[in-house]
Amino acid sequence: MEVIYEDNHIIAINKACGEIVQSDKTGDESLIDTVKAYIKKKYNKPGDVYLGSPHRLDRPTSGVVLFARTSKALTRLNAMFQDKEAIKKTYWAVVDHLPEQEEGELRHWLIKNEEKNKTYAYSKPKKDAKEAILHYKHVASLNRYHLLEIDLKTGRHHQIRVQLTKIGCHIKGDVKYGFPRTNDDGGIHLHARKVEFIHPVTKEFIKIIAQPPQNDPLWKELSQIDYLQD
């Protein structure tokens, strides 16, 4: 587990591909459990450790995950994640094809199929569909793949994965959404690169950056490109 930010109210982890944020039917250890154990040991805390989860990342996705260490922080973070302007979330996605335009906004209407755990995108409003908006730009190409930087405006189920697929750009390793083969680690090349926000308690500006998985040769090479350094 890689801790990339920590104070009395919040803690941020650079989640690895394959880790689950919260417990599910698999019974695998969740990141919440791992972080609680870390806090308990580091601060020698008796009894149960409080930890709240204001958002999630898909299991095959890597990158920044925020947790709240206090109920006050959790309440405020929950509200912030509902506000499009309160938290800026930047993702990196490695795709197999370039979009027609180097930079642009995608707006679709999404419907989740609960049984298949898959989301479908439509170009026009549809009954029970939720609007999804993101901004993308092409920032690098390497080894037949292309790196897109994505500013996520809404937070829908599998939003980036399904919206990019809708325009013919499949995320490397994402067989659920049309890429032809899996990655060796079972993850996909979608990484929550950065979050920026005003701290819910101290009111300071916070920017948290997560390095993509350095055990992956493609991610490692891409992250070493000079103009991608923060």
Structure-block tokens of residue 195 = 């979050």
Structure token digits, residue 23: 């417990």
What is the distance between the alpha carbons of residues 17 and 212, in angstroms, rounded to a whole number? 10
∠ CA 52-159-100, rounded to 5°: 145
Q: Clarify whether 58 is annotated catalytic.
A: yes
Which residue in 7, 48, 58, 128 is the catalytic one?
A: 58
Pairing of strands 87-95, 62-68: unpaired
Residue pair 194/209 in contact by the 8 Å Cβ criterion = yes
Q: What DSSP assignment string belongs to 51-103? A: -B-S----TT-EEEEEEESSHHHHHHHHHHHHSTTTEEEEEEEEESS--SSSE
Cα 33 from Cα 135, distance rounded (Å):
34
Q: Are 158 and 165 in contact (CB under 8 A)?
A: no
C-alpha pair distances (Å), 8 with each of 42, 71, 201: 13, 12, 10
Question: At a CB cut-off of 8 Å and minimum separation 6, what does 221 contact?
Answer: 142, 143
Q: Which residue numbers are catalytic?
A: 58
